[in-house]
Amino acid sequence: MLKIFYTPGTAAFASHIALEEAGADYEAVLVDFKTAEQTKPEYLKINPKGRVPALVTDKGILTETPAILFYIAQMYPEKNLAPLDDPYALAQIQSFNAYICATLHVAHAHKQRGSRWANEESSFADMRSKVTETVSASFRLIENELFKGPWVGGENYSIADPYLFTVSRWMEGDDIDPADFPKIHDHRNRMQDRPAVARVLPLHAR
Amino acid sequence: MLKIFYTPGTAAFASHIALEEAGADYEAVLVDFKTAEQTKPEYLKINPKGRVPALVTDKGILTETPAILFYIAQMYPEKNLAPLDDPYALAQIQSFNAYICATLHVAHAHKQRGSRWANEESSFADMRSKVTETVSASFRLIENELFKGPWVGGENYSIADPYLFTVSRWMEGDDIDPADFPKIHDHRNRMQDRPAVARVLPLHAR
């Protein structure tokens, strides 16, 4: 059985949704950031990066959201969670997910995780002051260039959709008005209505 | 014919090596960062992110290194650049590449690209002062946990290898001594000896 380690409010939500969409047999295990459980030796044995998500499989442990999402899509091909037989379309999905993890999520992380990249309180304040601008720029690129509609990759729902949904829920916290991004806003509303999302949403409320 | 847009000293080197390893029919086009060519309207039509690499295919344009690398592996399956028939092994390669793009490369970027995430010169100086520590931490995780040897994914060379090689060449510039990371250092030396790498290396000298 698969086991997903997650924390509310994190990117782990995307992988959790994908497991649910896949109809996977899995267990969800809470990692409590409030007690810094992710930094304790017990969790570092699971994920030495001290982050979530981590997916325990019968072959070993996987980390990094784009990789976990793609693994789920591959393991449940009948669920059509990625265009597995179309290299270009699949690469576009991977490109979208890489952009979220390396650009949008990183921009967002400068709000509360500035100590990853600097030491001074003045730098953290400076970083925080720019988050609305940088995260908005990422959503603007998605809204105007990357999002095909009605789903991220076009006609078919894919592993890019729970990832966009996960980060689009951070908008208000980053002082971004979802109404400024109508396609993403509409996508977020439609995602909330999916049964698989509704089932796991309560676990990810902060 | 494929076309790769690249700039010396950037992550584009990884995709360029992969094209060469694949024996692809492609053209390499220099994007001159010294004249900020990546910010000009002509290039933004190719990649609205204003970054390299960008891979022009007959179906459209791909960006983000992990996605381009995976596309090349899929298009030339006979070259065995990724374990395409083993979902877990493939996810591990994707996980490695996601870690490079979202953590190691991001840490490195705080040296010269602090203006992406802050506004004040004092913040940039603070960020620069932490780069050796943060990039070293990423290489330490790779050295101790992720690298299987003799190649990143184990016995078989894959699309994770040119990516590690590309970023490991940034060590000295980030005041990191390669000798502190013997597996990565040895990997770098062996990569340089590969004919495909030697053919494109001169184009990526800064």
Residue A34 has what DSSP assignment?
G
pLDDT of residue B27: 98
Residue B126 near residue B161 (C-beta atoms within 8 A): no
In our burial notation (b when 16+ CB lie closer than 10 A, e otherwise), range A153-182 reads beebbbbbbbbbbbbbbbbeebebebeebe
B32-54 tens-digit pLDDT: 999 999 999 999 999 999 999 99
Q: Which of B206, B204, B134, B137 is nearest to B165 (CA)?
A: B204
Q: State ipTM.
A: 0.97
Say if the Cβ atoms of B101 and A102 lie within 8 Å.
yes
pLDDT of residue A206: 73
Say whether pLDDT at B206 is over 90: no
Instruction: Work out the percent of chain A whose per-residue pLDDT is above 70.
Output: 100
- Provide the total of helices (H) and of strands (E) in chain A, helices listed first: 9, 4
A177-186 tens-digit pLDDT: 999 999 999 9
Q: Which of A110, A122, A144 is closest, CB to CB, to B122?
A: A122
**Chain B interface includes A127 (CB < 8 A):** yes
pLDDT of residue A190: 98
The whole-chain average pLDDT of chain A stands at 97
**Chain A interface includes B68 (CB < 8 A):** yes
Number of neighbours of residue B164 by Cβ within 10 angstroms = 24
- The owner of tokens 């190691």 is B104
- Across residues B75-86, what is the average pLDDT? 98
**Residue type at A77 in one-letter notation:** P
Instruction: Report all structural domains of chain A as residue ranges with CATH numbers, in order of start.
Output: 2-80+199-204 (3.40.30.10), 87-194 (1.20.1050.10)
- Across residues B165-177, what is the average pLDDT? 98
The whole-chain average pLDDT of chain B stands at 97
pLDDT of residue B205: 86
Distance in Å, alpha carbon of A68 to nearest chain B alpha carbon: 7
Residue B196 near residue B13 (C-beta atoms within 8 A): no
User: What gap in Å lies between CA B164 and CA B45, rounded to an integer?
Assistant: 29
pLDDT of residue A205: 86
Backbone torsions φ then ψ of B52, nearest 5 degrees: -120, 155
Q: Which of B143, B144, B135, B142 is nearest to B108 (CA)?
A: B135
Chain B interface, mutation test: which of A15, A46, A51, A64, most B Cβ atoms within 10 Å? A64
CB-CB neighbors (< 8 A) of A66 in chain B: 66, 94, 98
Say whether pLDDT at A86 is over 90: yes
**Chain B interface includes A123 (CB < 8 A):** yes
Helices (H), B23-120: 41-46, 65-75, 87-99, 105-109
CB-CB neighbors (< 8 A) of A92 in chain B: 60, 62, 67
A99-125 tens-digit pLDDT: 999 999 999 999 999 999 999 999 999
Looking at the DSSP assignment, which residues form a beta bridge with residue A61?
A: A56
- Across residues A49-75, what is the average pLDDT? 98
pTM of the model: 0.98
